[in-house]
Amino acid sequence: MTDDIHGFHHTGIVTRDLDGLERTYTSLGFTLSPRSRHLLNARPGEPPVPGCTANRCALFGGAYIELLGIVDDSAPDPWHTKAMVEEYEGFRLLNFDTGDAEATDRRLSGAGLRTSGVLDLERDVDTEDGTRTMRARAVHLDPRSTPEGHVGIAQHLTRHYVHQPRYLHHPNGARAMEAVLLVVDDAAFEAAVSRYARILQTAPGQRGPRTVLDRKAGRLEIIRSSDAEEVLPGEPVPAASYPAAMTIVVDDAAAARTFVEGAGTATRTVDDGFFVSARHACGAGLFFTAR
């Protein structure tokens, strides 16, 4: 058995209003990398072409939150972001981290999961030594088989161009993405847990209503839609199944809360920190906790 998936590579919030998304996450205390346009390919082996999307990222040295926006409607859309946004905007993407996209793709295909094959991504990024090209490889699971979200596995080829030290210090004290929470329709719940156990090669555990799959660098939590009101009281329900929230580790939860509330965003107390509603974070609930 291989151990090719380490934890989270990145999560993604998608929108047509990237300016507004940037303003929101800056006000929540995240330092964002500069805006960068994507070069993407639609099928393995094809050359990447300029796409319709750009991003900015909240980087933690391991995983990151991608703020992904459609910035040029006339450009190609090889990764079908427009269709995703037309369905609904918000927290839509979950990518796990691998050191070998080819090996992961073979394993997942062998386990009966339909994949895109290995795709290539590039984008120019500003570095202290000038503009450099960030390169990565990605395997997308067939979205028809993951109704809870657009799920993939990604491999950094130039990690140092992404997680630059100057972008890792956040006014809210954020330093890691600890967990991602999925809400899954009751009828699809057992199949979803089984699917992620195969993807992550780990046995699920239980923490209250949360089914938990732990990796070295991150924890996936899955709850039934019938338990969503208990775990996420009053939160919006954009679909029958959906990515609902992330847990962000900060240096000091009280200081982070003071910053967030001082910038005008309401919070509520949770057991080990505080929570920002998806209504105030562009579709992604945010748990903040200190470790």
Largest separation between any pair of C-alpha atoms in the chain: 52
Fold designation for 5-167: 2,3-Dihydroxybiphenyl 1,2-Dioxygenase; domain 1 (3.10.180)
Provide, rounded to the nearest whole percent, the portion of the chain with pLDDT above 70. 99
What pTM, to 2 d.p., does this model score? 0.94
Q: Look at residue 2 in the predicted model and tell me its pLDDT.
A: 60
Q: Look at residue 74 in the predicted model and tell me its pLDDT.
A: 92
- Does 3.10.180.10 match the CATH number of domain 174-290? yes
pLDDT tops 60 at residue 1: no
User: In the chain, which ranges are continuous DSSP H helix?
Assistant: 18-27, 81-87, 101-110, 159-162, 189-200, 228-231, 253-262
Can you tell me the distance from the alpha carbon of 155 to that of 138, in angstroms, rounded to the nearest whole number? 6
What is the tens place of the pLDDT at every residue in 190-217?
Answer: 999 999 999 999 999 999 999 999 998 8
What is the tens place of the pLDDT at every residue in 120-172?
Answer: 999 889 999 999 999 999 999 999 999 999 999 999 999 999 999 999 999 99
Residue whose C-alpha is closest to residue 210's, from 240, 195, 196, 230: 230
Kindly report the average pLDDT of the chain as a whole number: 95
Domain boundaries, the chain: 5-167, 174-290
What is the tens place of the pLDDT at every residue in 234-259?
Answer: 999 999 999 999 999 999 999 999 99
In this prediction, residue 90 has a pLDDT band, given cuts at 50, 70 and 90, of very high
The sign of the CA dihedral 203, 230, 242, 152 is negative
- Same CATH topology for 5-167 and 174-290: the answer is yes
Mean pLDDT of all residues in 39-44: 85
